[in-house]
Amino acid sequence: MEKNNKDYRLREVKCPAGFSWTNLRAELRAVWESNVKAWKIDLAYPVSFIRQLISPVVFMLPYLLYGLVLIGGRYSENLAQLVGTGDVVAFIFTGYIMMGFIGTAVWAMGFSMRREQWFGTLEAIYVTPASRLGQVLGMALHSTVHQGAGTIIQFIFIYATFGLALNVGGILPALGIFALMMFALYGFGIVISALSLILKEGWIVSDSFYSIMTILSPVAYPLIVLPTLAQQASIIFPTAPALIGMRSFLIENYVPEVVGNVFLHLSVLGAVWILFGVFVFHLTDRYVRKRGMLKKF
Amino acid sequence: MTQSVYEQSSFRSNFFVVWDELVKNMKFLMAYPIIFIFWAIFPIFWFIPFILQGEAFVGGLQSANFAQITGSGEYIPFIVIGAVLNSYVNTLLYGMGENIRREAYQGTLDYVFAAPCNKAYVLIGKALSESVSSTIFAASQLTISALLFGMNLTLGVMLPVFFIVILLILGLYGLSLVLAAFSLMYKQSHDVSETIGYIFYIFSPVRYPIESLPFWAQIIGKLIPLTYALIIVRSIMLLGTSFSAMYWEILALIIIDAVLMLAGFYMFNWMETKTKKSGAISHY
Amino acid sequence: MVYDKESEVFSIQTINLTKRFAKKKHRGVFGFLRKNQSKNKHEENTDVTVALDKVNIEIRPGELFGLLGPNGSGKTTMIKCLSTILIPDEGTVIVNGFDVQKETSMVRASLGMVVGGERTLYWKLTARDNLMYFASLYKMQRRYAKKRVEELLETLQLSDRADERLEDYSTGMRQKVAIARALLHDPPILLLDEPTLGLDPNFSRQIRSQIRELSEKHGKTVLLTTHYMDEADQLCDRVAFINNGNIVAVDTPNRLKAMVKEREIVEVAVYRPPADIESQIRSLLPDAEVIKLIPGDEDEGNPSRIKIIGGTAEEHMGTIIDALRQKNIRIGSLNVGVPTLEDVFIKLTGAKLTEGGMQ
């Protein structure tokens, strides 16, 4: 076929970029598709999928059974003295639902880039115009819904086995607190995803942060039991104030260990973590591309 | 090739298969010092929440209800022993299946299986390396816990404990062989390992005495080697019970070990033959 | 091909492109206990490899450009710098008029890439799912993406199995999906890094035919890296040789082959040559520019080859036959060869292109 001179111009590329509604829509679609992709891959391993749905129950049970054995019943005098309520079942259930969402930040989001690297698809993703953050947020969405399903299963199990007394009127404000907490956790998760990509043993970062956050969050004990330094450190993570806030709405007679406006606290934390997360992610993005660290290990 | 380049004695050749596999896996572990340090220290963080929970619920270091059920009210050593033995178990349970999957991923599994040696000895070598590393990690965690929480670790206590740990490992070897057999064919050994890990975690007295479970759950618990190991070790370390006084529990552990070992060897050989015929051996 | 000389516009242009990699030296398991010999601890413990050394390349729109070099020569590093996966240490890279460091998003939208082949796809997803997913990452509108995916599946003869998972595909089929992904957003430029590596001859032929079609019929600029000289010879408008991060020569395949005159090449097929045969022949033929033993696989019926480039072929033939006979080396065949790109490469660099690295 004869070629003519017209073929040898540079061809214009019409791709949305910069600050525009079109670009925002395209980025959001990429986030959604990442989420859909994660679900499809999850469902390709049905045994694993089912196991992950029941694992919140499996890991909560020891806290419950251990707590019941310690005090020989459901009511703890000491707990009542500390936080106004001695119902260990309600206390542990409301605390434990947090664990799954810490996992969202630390594992689902935190390990998302590393997981793509392990699949061999990280470079293929990097050469597309969509933001890499979209991958991380897609995983966040997937994991949040996944955890949500696990939480519902947890609730059904606990309600059926032990009975649960929660303040129904407090569900809506508790959900508000939960949403603010997730916003901040997403920012934290973005930081972890950046760090796990630059460190050779990325899973250690995720595991370490998961353990530290679990200790600093009043999941199975009131915050006041921790040493003072640990209590002060816990306010930089969203889980501690969120848990305390949610319990104060969901559990009757609950006396919050920390005084202050939880909504304001979480909003500030959310803004800080998101901004910090995006900043660290951008820095890491450049760092890994400079050092050639994207290829499959 | 003349006959003289091969080992004359099958015992020697099998011994070196096990030994070289052990050395290879240990070198692999040492190539990642940060992983080594992580496993030696970090699992302690996983049971700290239980200790804090105890403090919050009972307001001290002793639980009257615990004393009534187990004979000792000290819940902290109870938790520490459960956590250390359980993390030990998890390393072995996941370690074997994942070791094989790693070989498949690296592309070396075909070559291992094409070699004329008996593959069971390769697996014994892998299991041995997992045991050695698990023991090092467990010893480190126990030592740190003893320093932090004031536990008694004399030689008179630790020697029988070490013997029980060996018995536990033998049973887990059998279970590991079963998992290795699954991973050959179904490539999703991780799920099977995790599921077994869940069963151990819930039905064994890792975090709570087995007596606190419903009767049906106790029966399941009593089929698990970890249950007996935990009961025996806690009795020796916390109640000062003599080794000989635990002979029923020790016997039960030995019987379960024997059953698991036999089942493991049989299943692995059967599955190896099956996967060689189907060609699934190196697909992953 | 015809190009417009007056307005030199390049699809891809690199100016003094340099990329270095620093890697920690492995000092053994207990290396941290060993004392450093010099004061500069960082230098002693680090190896610096210059993967690309002030590389200047200009590729015109619509050109099918080959980058030929052995393993480790810098081909993949070059591709990665062009595709924004790697940030260059020095120099400028312009792709489709966009600077890779300043307008990264537009560069990515201008490129389709096939690098790493089958392992860069999700094996647990179907071909259709993979393509739809990547279409969203290329910011394509959904209805257009659907149409485009169906079009590509049809063109690449994958429609029948589009809803099967990639784990059930053959290597060649997965490579086709990788190519489909590169073409999703109809980019003006394609970067193909060893696209036929590991494929059987039938599939390789299909892939090459598709590459040719993309360049000739669709006017795409294609940068193809390969160490298969035949592939570059058959397909490329121009070829650049790269060795140790440097561009050694750039021209059309015919002009490059003309650098090695036909009568200058003698190739002798021999069986079980001694290890020092090169030096022995070199001592007999001082005017030869290059003497290279290329080992073969005699069990497969492929004898080793001794290639002599330079000097006068007729004179060499007699000397070589006598020398080999004296040493009782069995001769399979003797040819006065048609130069190949490999011959040019060997002449220019002293290295060979074939798998297994430089010799």
Please give the structure tokens belonging to residue C1: 């091909």
Q: Is the pLDDT of residue A296 over 60?
A: no
With CB atoms and an 8 Å threshold, state whether A15 touches C124.
no
Which amino acid, one-letter code, is at B127?
A
d(CA C129, CA C132) in angstroms, rounded, equals 5
Q: Is C336 helix (H, G, I), strand (E, B) or coil?
A: strand
CA distances from C294 to B171, C19, C268, C324, C358 (A): 56, 31, 10, 16, 11
Structure confidence at residue C350 (pLDDT): 73
CATH topology of domain C261-338: Alpha-Beta Plaits (3.30.70)
The Cβ of residue A92 has, within 10 Å, a number of other Cβ atoms equal to 24
Percent residues over pLDDT 70 in chain A = 95
B36 part of a folded domain: yes
The residue range of the domain holding B217 is 8-278
Band of the pLDDT at B187, cuts 50, 70, 90? Answer: low
Q: Are C85 and A32 an interchain contact pair (Cβ–Cβ within 8 Å)?
A: no
pLDDT band, residue A2 (cuts 50/70/90): very low
Which run of H or of E encompasses C332?
A: strand C330-336
Quick: pLDDT tens for B64-89: 999 999 998 999 999 999 998 988 78
- Look at A161-175, A252-266, C96-110 and tell me which has the smallest mean pLDDT: A252-266
Mean pLDDT within A193-206: 83
Strands C330-336 and C265-271: antiparallel
**pLDDT at position C60 over 90:** yes
Number of domains making up chain B? 1
Share the mean pLDDT of chain C.
Answer: 85
CB pairs below 8 Å between B and C: how many? 3
- pLDDT of B188 reads 63
Give helix B189-203 / helix B75-106 axis angle, nearest 10°.
170
Q: Closest Cα of chain C to B204: distance in Å?
A: 36
pLDDT for position C4: 47
Q: Measure the CA–CA gap between B138 and A37, rounded to whole angstroms.
A: 39
Which residues of A are less than 8 Å from C86 in CB distance? 289-290, 292
B284 contacts on A by Cβ (under 8 Å): none
In a domain, B260, yes or no: yes
| One-letter amino acid of B207 | R
Determine what percent of chain B is predicted with pLDDT higher than 70.
90
* A116: chain C residues, CB-CB within 8 Å: none
- Nearest CB to B201; choose among A58, A76, A204: A58
- Mean pLDDT, residues A52-56 taken together: 90
Confidence of residue A1 (pLDDT cuts 50, 70, 90): very low
CA angle B145, B151, B153 (to 5 degrees): 100
Out of A237-246, B55-64, C215-224, C327-336, least confident range: C327-336
CA distance B51 to C155: 64
d(CA C327, CA C274): 9
Mean pLDDT of B104-126: 78
What confidence category does residue B4 fall into, taking pLDDT thresholds of 50, 70 and 90?
Answer: low
**C-alpha–C-alpha distance, residues C118 and C176, integer Å:** 9
Residue C238 pLDDT grade (very low, low, confident, very high; cuts 50, 70, 90): very high
Q: B1 in a domain, yes or no?
A: no
C33 near B CB under 8 A: no
Q: Which of A220-229, B13-22, B156-165, C19-28 has the lowest mean pLDDT?
A: C19-28
Are A289 and A264 in contact by the 8 Å Cβ rule? The answer is no
At residue A21 the predicted structure's pLDDT band, cuts being 50, 70 and 90, is: very high
Q: Chain C: list its partners (3+ Cβ pairs within 8 Å).
A: A, B
CB contact under 8 A, A127 and C111: yes
Instruction: Tally Cβ neighbours within 10 Å of residue B265.
Output: 17
Give the Å distances, CA to CA, from B142 to A295, B78, B131.
39, 12, 16
> Nearest-CA residue of chain B relative to A221?
B53
A171 phi/psi in degrees, rounded to 5 = -65, -45
CB–CB of A11/C111 below 8 Å? no
Q: In the predicted model, what is the mean pLDDT of residues C162-167?
A: 93
Q: CATH top-level class for C12-252? A: alpha beta
- Alpha carbons within 13 A on the beta-carbon side of C350: 3
- Give the confidence band of B164 by pLDDT, cuts at 50, 70, 90: very high
Whether the CB-CB separation of C298 and C271 falls below 8 Å is answered with yes
Question: Per the domain annotation, does B114 fall within a domain?
Answer: yes
Amino acid identity, position B87:
S
* B284 occurs within a structural domain: no
Least confident of B188-192, C16-20, C119-123, C199-203: B188-192
In DSSP terms, C290 is beta-bridged to C309
- H helices present in chain C, as ranges: 41-45, 75-82, 104-110, 127-137, 142-155, 171-183, 201-216, 229-235, 253-258, 277-284, 313-326, 341-349
Non-local (6+) Cβ contacts of A60 within 8 A are A92, A93, A96, A99, A154, A158
Give dist(CA B43, CA C306) in Å, integer: 62
Q: pLDDT digit string (tens) for B11-46?
A: 888 888 889 888 988 888 888 888 888 888 888 898
C290-295 mean pLDDT: 84
Question: Per-residue pLDDT for A173 more than 70?
Answer: yes
Query: Which band of pLDDT confidence, cut at 50, 70 and 90, is reported for residue C31?
Result: low
Cβ-in-10-Å burial (0-12, 13-18, 19+) of A206 comes to buried
Q: What is the mean pLDDT of the segment spanning B170-185?
A: 80
Largest CA distance in chain B: 75
For residues C73-90, give the mean pLDDT.
93
User: What value does the mean pLDDT of chain B take?
Assistant: 85
Instruction: Give pTM, 2 decimals.
Output: 0.83
| pLDDT at residue C339 greater than cutoff 90 | no
> 3-state DSSP helix/strand/coil percent for chain B, to nearest 5?
80, 0, 20
Within a domain: B3: no
- Sorted by sequence, the CB contacts under 8 Å of residue B272 that are 6+ apart come out as B113, B119, B181, B184
Write down the pLDDT at residue C101: 92
Whether pLDDT at A71 is above 90: yes
Nearest to A206 by CA among A102, A106, A73: A106
